[in-house]
Amino acid sequence: MAGRRDLDGLLERAENLARARLSAKRYGHTLRVAQTAERLARRHGIDPQRARLAGLLHDAARELPPERLLKLAEEWDLPVDPFERENPKLLHGPVAAELARRELGLDDEEVLRAIREHTTGSPGMGPLSLALYVADKIEPARDYPSVQRLRELARADLREAAVEALRRSVEHNERRGKRTHPASLQWLREAESAAQRRVE
């Protein structure tokens, strides 16, 4: 893991990388996610600087065209599942993580994992991944009916907030007749059966 001074340098380079690769609008989103992830991290006893770093990098590949994402993932030997092959937009997290590894020398596996899984989530997500996942859903410019409830939940319990956001995302996909990535569905099933066990 990077030392504190390395981390300051990394944060600056991550911000530059995001600025260079994104439109002003998405760069604005990126800065808000970074700030929100940092705030959530402080509240929940997670390293705020590493949460900020994950936030700065999470969407770095979001504006690459889907066919380019797929090509890069193949070139870099990243795992691509059949769902992602059909929906290469979902590769923007894994490609951003690999970009950060290659361009910034980032080797913090927890930060890389948070970036990789920020869109779909996955079973067994750690605290840093949860902070980024939730931050992406509740950053201050997000505006949808349940966002206020999610913000409140995020202050109390990051994992519950993440699962609630995931549930909303699955419903959102269903309403639009879109399928949800199997990793997200698996995560939701596991979270719901864990909640059920706590009730019993």
Residues of the shown chain interacting with ligand ADP in the complex, contacts defined by CB under 6 A: 62, 89-90, 119-120, 169, 173, 180-181, 184
CB of 83 to ligand ADP, least distance (A): 7
Q: Which is nearer to ligand ADP, 36 or 169 (CB)?
A: 169
Q: Which DSSP state fits 139?
A: S
Cβ-Cβ contacts under 8 Å for 105 (sequence gap 6 or more): none
CB of 181 to ligand ADP, least distance (A): 4
Q: Which is nearer to ligand ADP, 85 or 89 (CB)?
A: 89
Q: Which is nearer to ligand ADP, 13 or 62 (CB)?
A: 62
Residue 43 burial (CB < 10 Å; 0-12/13-18/19+)? middle
CA distance 166 to 16: 30
CB of 185 to ligand ADP, least distance (A): 8
Q: Which is nearer to ligand ADP, 86 or 200 (CB)?
A: 86
Q: Which among 68, 121, 74 has a CA at the least distance from the CA of 93?
A: 121
CB of 52 to ligand ADP, least distance (A): 19
Q: Which among 183, 190, 167 has a CA at the least distance from the CA of 83?
A: 183
